Structure 1
Amino acid sequence: MATNAPQSTLSFPREIFAKLSPHPYLLAHLQPSNPSIPPTRANGRTTTQFRTPHINNGSLTHAEGSAVVRIGDTTVVCGIRGEILLASSVPNYRSDKATTSPSARPGYNEAKELDLLVPNIELATGCNPVFMPGQPPSTLAQGLSTRILSLLHTSRLVDGEGLRIWYQPPDLSEEDKMDEDEEPEATEPEIKAFWTLYIDILFISLDGNPFDAAWAAVVSALRDVKLPKAFWDPDREMIICDDTIASARKLTLRGLPIAVTALVFKARDQGREGKSWVLVDPDTFEEGLCDETVTVIVDFTGGKTKMLGISKNGGTVVGTKEVREIVIMAEERWHELNKLLGG
């Protein structure tokens, strides 16, 4: 007499379960049924744990400065090349004297007004399954370029003095003076040109949190920039650059601003909003399940944390308490990246 064999339970591998029911899959990790098990994310990290960063400078020999930044499976290459913009080619730039030029006015942001910082972001084919060959620039790439440009100007990271090329006219008053008692007039230096920095950012692989990785690559590449010594040749009426490496100089940067992004994951409780978790440094899987994003920009100077900016999109969970927690985590991230950047 045949006996009925027990039916095997239907089960799916973790990867299939994550694709079929991503929200319950992540919720099961953050809210385990056993209270003794600590909550973790699907990638094994805690809610406040960042991915390990790796930074390498000077990888591109054809650029004035470069950096490769890898955070988890997100890898960004940033190369910066400099081009010279003559002051005479700038529309409405009437005065180039040191005391009467527009740069002498208080609060004048030369890099912004003259477009001396030009970021461009490209998402390489194969960096993520979403980006296929032959497609026009994505909304993500355009949005990231706009955010990078805005942060460069609001933080005033690059000192405008390092982008100016000066010329000191010779003092000819001694030859022309007619009266020995007449005091020679001091000649005033002139701005003859500016350095324009083209900041090209390429994503080799993308697994979430693109803005933090792109900004870290930009800051690291700017710290690596060495501009050749440039001077005005009055005989040929052109800018000449010195090819010797010893004469090249680094940019002067104001501080070390770091971006930290966090998402809010919400549990669903019978159609109502249940418990929520703040997930710092999210990956692509988590980004698809969260509707609220918070990014803070912090710097650490003089033993104090300085918040340079905060942006928030969607949701109503994040308040003053949550922002304060994110800022504390951003302070820890700043010290970690500061060591890697050689600050």
Structure 2
Amino acid sequence: MAAEYKTIHPVKYYRDYLAHDVRPDGRAFQKFRPASVNVGSIKTADGSSLVKIGNTTVVCGIKLEIAPPKAEEPGKGFFVPNVTLPPLCSPKFRPGPPSDQAQVASHFVAEVVSNSACIDLGELCIVPEKLVWVLHCDLYCLDHDGALLDACVIALIAALRTVTFPVVEYDADKDTTVVSEKKRKSLTVHSAPVATTFAIFDDDILITDPTTEEETLSTGLLTIAVQGQKLCSVYKPGGSPLSEDQLQDCISKARKRAEQINQLVETALNPPER
């Protein structure tokens, strides 16, 4: 009977739970789903990670390419993020060109990396005006069950911290390039931003880490990216407004969660000895 009621009246079904200060999956309003991080799972990539938040699963693979720099930025390399949401991850996505949500996710990831200055594009320069590194960062969603932006940012930062470069030697006289795969150096990641998503219900109820169902039924969404005490990016695609106190509360919760996530990533990168 409950399944039929949920199908016919999904919003009322959900709000009946909210009225009792609990969510259908048993979580309290401010409870996060379990998260896990694995790194180095793609052997053919120059850096990789796999992140799960509840059922949401995102894999990130990074490939390096040598290319000429932009004329207006001769001493800087490139960072190219791309989020893919295939039909495999959710029935609401179809084959074909990138969906609006995929494009929004790619833009958000690029904005977070830029605002947090977690990588220095100047350090990607091999020979000024001649050669630079391009970081192709492909984020592929295997299962979409809410908080996609959170998973993408965590997966990207974890993968960036595993990237290693081959040593490149450039002979200006002969205009030749020699790449030594045996000698590699790590990419310097200067900061570790973390994104946290909140769902808004009826202007007065805020829940953290929403599932896809909760995102669909909510009256508004908010994603906050922080790096330490710094606010890197805020994404709110319309919906219910937030008061100043509610926004500050969300920022505070995002900062606390960032500490936990960064510790999780650190453990994945440097597992304790058994």
State whether TM-score is above 0.5. Answer: yes
Residue 254 of structure 2 corresponds to 330
1:127 aligns with 2:55: no
8 Å CA contact retained: 2:39, 2:48: yes
8 Å CA contact retained: 1:261, 1:294: yes
Partners of 2:72 and 2:88 lie apart in 1 by 45
The structural deviation recorded for 1:235 is 5.1
Residue 271 of structure 2 corresponds to none
8 Å CA contact retained: 2:126, 2:132: yes
Residue 239 of structure 1 corresponds to 177
User: 3-state DSSP class of the match of 2:13?
Assistant: helix
Code of the aligned partner of 1:297: A
8 Å CA contact retained: 1:155, 1:308: yes
Residue 172 of structure 1 corresponds to none
Partners of 2:225 and 2:265 lie apart in 1 by 17
Structure 2: runs of 5 or more not aligned: 268-274
Residue 116 of structure 2 corresponds to 155
1:178-199 per-position Cα deviation (integer Å, ceiling 9, x unaligned) = xxxxxxxxxxxx5641100101
Identify the range of structure 1 (119-128 vs 202-211) with the bigger mean alpha-carbon deviation. Answer: 119-128
Residue 196 of structure 1 corresponds to 134
The structural deviation recorded for 1:287 is 0.8
Of residues 300, 308, 312, the one that matches 2:232 is 308
1:142 aligns with 2:80: no
Residue 80 of structure 1 corresponds to 62
Task: Please report the RMSD computed on the Cα atoms of aligned residues, expressed in angstroms.
Answer: 1.9
User: 3-state DSSP class of the match of 1:341?
Assistant: helix
Partners of 1:299 and 1:151 lie apart in 2 by 9
1:205 aligns with 2:143: yes
Residue 16 of structure 1 corresponds to 4
For residues 69-108 of structure 1, the aligned pairs below 5 Å read 69-87=51-69, 90-91=70-71, 103=75
Code of the aligned partner of 1:47: F
Partners of 2:233 and 2:72 lie apart in 1 by 32
Residue 284 of structure 1 corresponds to 212
Code of the aligned partner of 2:85: L
Residue 264 of structure 2 corresponds to 340
8 Å CA contact retained: 1:159, 1:251: no
Percent of matched pairs sharing the same residue: 31
1:294 aligns with 2:232: no
Residue 250 of structure 1 corresponds to 186
8 Å CA contact retained: 1:165, 1:191: no
Code of the aligned partner of 1:256: A
Code of the aligned partner of 1:264: I
8 Å CA contact retained: 1:82, 1:196: yes
Structure 1 ranges of 4+ moved more than 6 A: none
The structural deviation recorded for 1:218 is 0.8
Distance 1:202 1:307, change over 3 A: same
Structure 1: runs of 5 or more not aligned: 1-11, 33-38, 94-101, 104-109, 167-189, 267-274
The structural deviation recorded for 1:139 is 1.4
Q: How many residues align?
A: 267
The structural deviation recorded for 1:296 is 1.3
Residue 50 of structure 1 corresponds to 32
Partners of 2:177 and 2:8 lie apart in 1 by 62
The structural deviation recorded for 1:276 is 2.5
The structure number with the bigger radius of gyration is: 1
Partners of 2:249 and 2:65 lie apart in 1 by 42
